[in-house]
Each structure stands twice: as C-alpha cells, then as structure tokens.
C-alpha cells in the first residue's frame, strides 16, 4: 500500500521541477527571444503541472505558472501608497536643451565628472513591482506618482514577469521594489486589434493604450488574453540587501534575477556621446518591435543621483529626450470657447479627425487669442497639427496657400458664451475672463476642483452630481456643500437615502483634511498641490495667510511674485472671504497641527530620514513629532541629510548614510531627540572620505 506522505513528497518534488523548467522556458521565450523548447514540449509540461495541481490543490502557490491565466473578476482596485514617489521626468527636445540640463547638474554639484546612461523610453504603462523574500508580492500603477492602484492579479498574467526571483543570482533581498514599463509589441498589437474587429469590438488606438487598458481590466482573465510584456528600468528601494552603486549595475542585477531590462542601455562619458546616442535611437525608431517615444538620460552613479536630488516632481539626475513630434495636415472646422474655473475663456480648435502617431486627433488647444492671431488661424483653414512631445495635440501653423476665400476670421467674444456677462482682458495679460464670478461654468468647475482627490477628496460627489446641485440651486459656492438640505438631497431621483447618507459622511470627513489640501481646493490662480503645501508649512493657518502682504508671501521659497499676487488678490476679494467664513463656520479645518514654519524648535533646519521599523512607534507618528520640532523629514538620503534614524530591518538608506558619512542613529536616540535632546554633531570627515566610503560601498556590493 502506498504511503500518502511519500506520494505527496514526490508530487512536491515534481511540481518544483516543472515550475522551474517552465519559468526558464518563459524567460527564454519572452525575455531572450531564444526558445529552447517547442510549443508541444511546453504544452505537455503545462498540462502535467495542471494535472498535479488539480490532484493536490493544497500545493498550488501564487508563484506557479498556472496562476498567470487570471482569476475571478475584482470589484475594483485598491489604492497603494508608493514608499518612494514615482516621479515624472523633465523633457528636452533638442541638443541645446540637453546641454542646458547637463550644465545645471554641474552647477548643483560643481567640479564633479558625471557618467551618463542612455536607454530607450518605452511607450507603455509604468508599474512598481514589490518582491518579498524573492516572491512577487504586489504590483501597482504609477497613479499620481504618490498613490497608485493595486493591479497585482493582472500583473501576474504578464508572461515575462518573474513570479519568483532567480535563485541562481544569489540571495534575494528581504524586500525589493522594481520599476518598469508594461508594453505591447507592435505585431502583437496588430493581431489583437484584428481579433477585436473580427469579434465586432472597437479596436485600440495604439499599443500604449492597449497595454494600459489591458492592465486595468477588473477581470484578470481578460488581461491574461492580451499579449503584454514587461521591461524594467530601475530599482525603487532595497530592504535587507545592498543597493548596486550604479544604474548599469542595477540593470545587470535585475537581469540576473530574471527580468527583461530595457535593451541596449549604453554608458556615455560626455554629453556629446549622449546626443549621438539619442540620434542613434531616433534613427532606429521605426525598426523596433515596440514603440518608443524618446531616450532616457540618467546619471549612472547612484550616490551622485542622491546628491543631485529632486526639483518639484522631477529628479535632477535624469531627463527624457523626446523625439520630434509627428505632424499631419488637416482642416480647422471651428473654434469653441470653454470657460474654466477661474473664468478664463479657453479657445479650442475643432479639427477634421486625423491620425497622428497612432492616435486620432479631433481637437487641439489654442491657449489664447494672441496665439490665434500669431498663427493667423481662420476657421476653414488647412493646418499642420502635431502631438507636442507625442502627447498634447497642437496646431503648428496654418497653410495660407490653400485658402479659398471662404475662411472666417475668429474674434474672441465680448460676452461670456455661458452666462452672457461681459468679458474682460487686462492690459499685459494673454487671457480674457468672464467678469461674473457666479457664472455657472466657473462654479461647476470650481466645485469639481474643490471636491477632487488632490483637494478635499469628497468621494461620491462626481461631475454629474455637482452639476445637478448647481442647476437646482442647491449650492451657490463651495461653502454651501457643508449646509446642504439632506432631506432634499435624499429625495432626488436616482440618489436615495443610503447614497445621501454616504455623501453626507464623505463631506463631513472632508472637514478634517490638512490645511494644504484646503488651500489647493480654494482654486487660487496658479496655486497647485505643491504650492499649497509650501504656503501651509510657512503660515500654519488660513488666517495668517490671509493677513500676509505680497512681499511676505513672495519670500516663501518656491512661491515668488506671480503666485504671491494671486494669493494676495484672492484673500482681498470680499466674496472669497465670505466663502471662507462659511467654511470656518461649518467646522472645516483652517489650521495645521504643526503651526507656521520658522517658529524655531529643537530641530529647526535639520533634515531627517527614517528607515526600518521602530518598536511601539509608527513611522507616521515619528515623522509628525519630528516636524513639530522643526525638522524637514524626507524619504531619501543625501549629503545634506542631518541624520538617519534606523530601526529594525533598515535597508539601503542605512547603507547610503554610511557611504555619505551621515550620522546613523538608533531608535533609542530617536526617542531621546523626540524628548528634547539635541542631535549629536556629525563626525569629522577626513579628506577624500567620500571617495573611500564609495569604494567601500562598491566592494560590499
């Protein structure tokens, strides 16, 4: 009689062997394009694997190749906060701008030679992949750079995504985040579209849209049916391991783990070589099996990347050379006016639809009346249209030679097309504005901005419901949101008591949003999320900001005179003050917990980084307490960092602190500093210490 335990052991061993072989064949086929097995051999092993897993379902693991086929549909995508932001890149469009970018690096870190790396900019969807103890744990979209969507189930279906890191590459880190681009090959895209058309569906416009749409399917089985692939291009962070010292080493490390890294990445010693490589990629653009829209240029040394740091939402140490836009000729059919939330009259060109680089373009922004006049655009003109940076449609110029005499000169309206109020253009300004602050178009867009995710984040209050409230006269400004007649709301068609109760709870919860979100939500001209954070940190309350003069506001780093004038004018408009009064009366938070910056504090001027886990103290609580003491808490280590506090399982941040001779302190010291003890003085740094530290870090890697 057979021993059941012995049979289970045999099944486990056979499963391990099958999975290892199939994953190796997947890597050879999808990543290397060098298959070593026939389709029949591959199918035979997959069938055997499925049979064993059917007989022993308790042995099925998330890393099994059979799990790539997709599971049951999901209800929606959960949000994922990125431990390190997935920032966008600055763009350069010619050699002069590329050299200007390189010159700025030398000004930030003088007398330092840089080696660059050039690699193709894949036209796909950016993703972040987290592996824990070598196994694929979670994958998410880039989202807004700070919060993405959990699409782990869909990413498991991407054939060349390793479900487990190759053990032959050595011990995997305790945790590693890998960043990459999911894309679709042009030939695969064409076959997919042919299949969709044969089935009576609507084809995708281009491979990027096809990849993005496929990854965001709620049913992973749909994603599994799409020919998606992955290129990885960087490491986000490493915990429990040592980060490579250069970008090229990082790519090699990723390849050893089984990833398909961006192809033909090349080191370049000078900016002349970088430009030559950009032109090399441009010349190959139409020969590639996949679409690229430019070349990414990075500083190779990762420590130099840390030193260069970031500006706004972009790293200083990288940029993207965007290929010249693809142009087409079409006809300008009409010019329509859209009234924005600030009252600006925005002209939009209505075009005879034309395909530009795989995207059908039927509209293009015209910015303002000066641009229409400068380009001599007339309704009925034949025009040259391009997608600037291969993204934003714009009219390059008209073609006067093709005029028939039936074209019409466009004139900006003297009266608002929405409310009929007079329009006005200030001398020296490019935009014309509706003079009616109660204009329904302004109000609708203003309220939509106020409730949006980056502002007060009121879930359930979408564009249609906002328009409905305004059309019914239930709200006349954003302050009225907090005084809605909830019986009347519940009585509205297609709403009901439950939806009204959920909306009421969301509006009530928004009262506790941080001050920066409220400042952004107010819709002050030129003030976005980042500027709102700067103002909230500097003034600490809406009242203090309202009382500040222009010069005081302009002196806030990152604000300047133009933004200061907008803020000052906003808070000196009686109607705006009346709305703020409503918000304050309703209980909306108008102060920050920390109070205004610049009030001193034991850690004023210090830059602190936290890494690892702290016993009995959450990372969020520690960061808030440090900020109350005046510290600037950041997520990356540079030579400007004052101290790094490391808890359990501290990872690459601790390694970089050692390499840069930044004080590395333990949890006991963190608690002492939070209790009022001063930071210890940094150790004296001997000559050439930085080079020695980097050499040591390189040897450890």
CB of 255 closer than 8 Å to CB of 100: no
- Residue 640 known to be catalytic: no
C-alpha 143/C-alpha 126 separation (Å) is: 9
Q: How far is the C-alpha of 252 from the C-alpha of 244, rounded, in Å?
A: 10
Structure tokens at 332: 């300008």
Q: Please give the distance of CA 482 from its chain centroid, rounded to a whole number.
A: 31
> Residue 40, Cα to own-chain centre: how many angstroms?
42
Q: Closest Cα to residue 633, out of 542, 537, 559, 541?
A: 537
Q: How is residue 545 written in tokens?
A: 């900001």
| Alpha-carbon gap, residue 183 to 117, rounded angstroms | 22
Q: What is the 3-state secondary structure (H, E, C) of 460-514?
A: CCCHHHHHHHHHCCCCCCHHHHHHCCHHHHHCCCCCHHHHHHHHHHHHHHHCCCC
Contact 264, 120 (CB under 8 A): yes
Please give the Cα distance from 56 to 8 (Å, whole number): 8
User: Hey, what are 101's tokens?
Assistant: 């970018």
Residue 364: DSSP 8-state? E
99 touches 271 (CB < 8 A)? yes
| 8 Å CB contact between 437 and 343 | yes
**CA 72 vs CA 62, 161, 218, 492, 611: distances in Å:** 14, 20, 9, 35, 37
Cβ atoms of 190 and 60 closer than 8 Å: no
By annotation, the residues acting in catalysis are 121
């Amino acid at each position: 009689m057979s021993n059941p335990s012995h049979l289970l052991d045999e099944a486990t061993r056979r499963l391990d062997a099958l999975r290892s072989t199939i994953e190796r064949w997947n890597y050879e086929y999808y990543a290397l394009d060098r298959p070593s097995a026939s389709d029949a051999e591959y199918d035979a092993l997959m069938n055997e694997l499925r049979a064993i897993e059917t007989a022993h379902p308790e042995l099925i693991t998330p890393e099994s190749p059979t799990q790539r086929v997709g599971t049951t549909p999901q209800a929606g995508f959960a949000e994922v906060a990125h431990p390190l932001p997935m920032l966008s890149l600055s763009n350069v469009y010619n050699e002069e701008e590329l050299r200007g970018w390189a010159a700025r690096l030398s000004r930030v870190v003088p007398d330092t030679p840089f080696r660059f790396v050039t690699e193709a900019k894949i036209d796909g969807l950016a993703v972040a992949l987290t592996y824990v103890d070598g196994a694929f744990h979670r994958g998410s979209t880039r989202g807004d750079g700070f919060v993405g969507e959990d699409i782990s189930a869909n990413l498991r279906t991407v054939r060349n995504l390793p479900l487990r890191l190759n053990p032959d590459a050595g011990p995997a880190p305790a945790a590693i985040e890998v960043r990459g681009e999911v894309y679709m090959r042009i030939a695969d895209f064409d076959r997919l579209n042919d299949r969709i058309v044969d089935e009576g569906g609507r084809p995708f416009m281009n491979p990027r849209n096809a990849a993005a749409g496929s990854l965001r399917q709620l049913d992973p089985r749909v994603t599994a049916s799409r020919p998606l692939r992955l290129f990885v291009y960087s490491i986000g962070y490493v915990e429990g391991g040592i980060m490579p010292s250069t970008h090229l080493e990082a790519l090699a490390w990723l390849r050893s783990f089984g990833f398909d890294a961006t192809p033909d990445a090349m080191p370049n010693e000078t900016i002349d070589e970088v430009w030559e490589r950009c032109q090399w990629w441009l010349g190959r653009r139409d020969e590639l099996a996949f679409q690229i829209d430019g070349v990414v240029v990075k500083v190779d040394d990762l420590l130099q990347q840390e030193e260069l740091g970031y500006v706004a939402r972009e790293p200083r140490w990288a940029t993207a050379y965007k290929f010249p836009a693809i142009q087409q000729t079409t006809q300008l059919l009409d010019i329509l006016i859209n009234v924005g939330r600030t009252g600006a009259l925005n002209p939009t060109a209505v075009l005879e639809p034309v395909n530009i680089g795989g995207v059908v373009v039927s509209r293009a922004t015209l910015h303002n009346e000066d641009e229409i006049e400068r380009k001599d655009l007339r309704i009925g003109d034949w025009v040259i249209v391009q997608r600037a940076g291969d993204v934003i449609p714009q009219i390059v110029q008209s073609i006067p030679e093709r005029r028939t005499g039936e074209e019409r000169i466009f004139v900006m309206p003297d009266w608002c097309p929405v409310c009929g109020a007079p329009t006005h253009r200030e001398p020296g300004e490019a935009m014309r504005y509706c003079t009616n602050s109660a204009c329904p178009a302004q109000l609708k867009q203003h309220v939509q901005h106020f409730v949006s995710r980056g502002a007060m984040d009121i879930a359930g209050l979408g564009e249609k419901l906002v328009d409905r409230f305004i059309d019914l006269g239930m709200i006349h400004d954003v302050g009225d949101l907090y005084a809605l007649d909830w019986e009347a709301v519940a009585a509205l068609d297609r709403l009901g008591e439950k939806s009204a109760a959920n909306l009421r709870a969301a509006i009530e919860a928004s009262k506790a949003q941080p001050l920066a979100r409220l400042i952004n939500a107010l819709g002050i001209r030129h003030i976005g999320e980042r500027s709102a954070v700067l103002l909230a940190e500097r003034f600490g309350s809406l009242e203090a900001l309202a009382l500040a003069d222009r010069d005081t506001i302009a002196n806030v780093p990152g604000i300047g005179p133009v933004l200061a004038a907008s803020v000052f004018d906003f808070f000196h408009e009686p109607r705006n003050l009346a709305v703020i009064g409503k918000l304050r009366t309703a209980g909306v938070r108008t102060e920050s917990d920390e109070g205004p910056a610049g009030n001193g504090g034991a850690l004023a001027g210090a830059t602190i980084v936290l890494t690892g886990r702290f016993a009995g103290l959450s990372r969020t609580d520690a960061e808030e307490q440090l900020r109350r003491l005046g510290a600037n808490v950041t997520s990356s280590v540079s030579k400007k960092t004052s101290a790094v506090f490391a808890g359990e399982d501290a990872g690459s941040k601790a390694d970089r602190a050692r390499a840069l001779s930044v004080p590395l302190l333990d949890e006991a010291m963190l608690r002492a500093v939070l209790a009022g003890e001063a930071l210890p003085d940094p150790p004296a740094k001997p000559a050439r210490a930085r080079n020695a530290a980097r050499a040591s870090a390189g040897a450890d890697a």
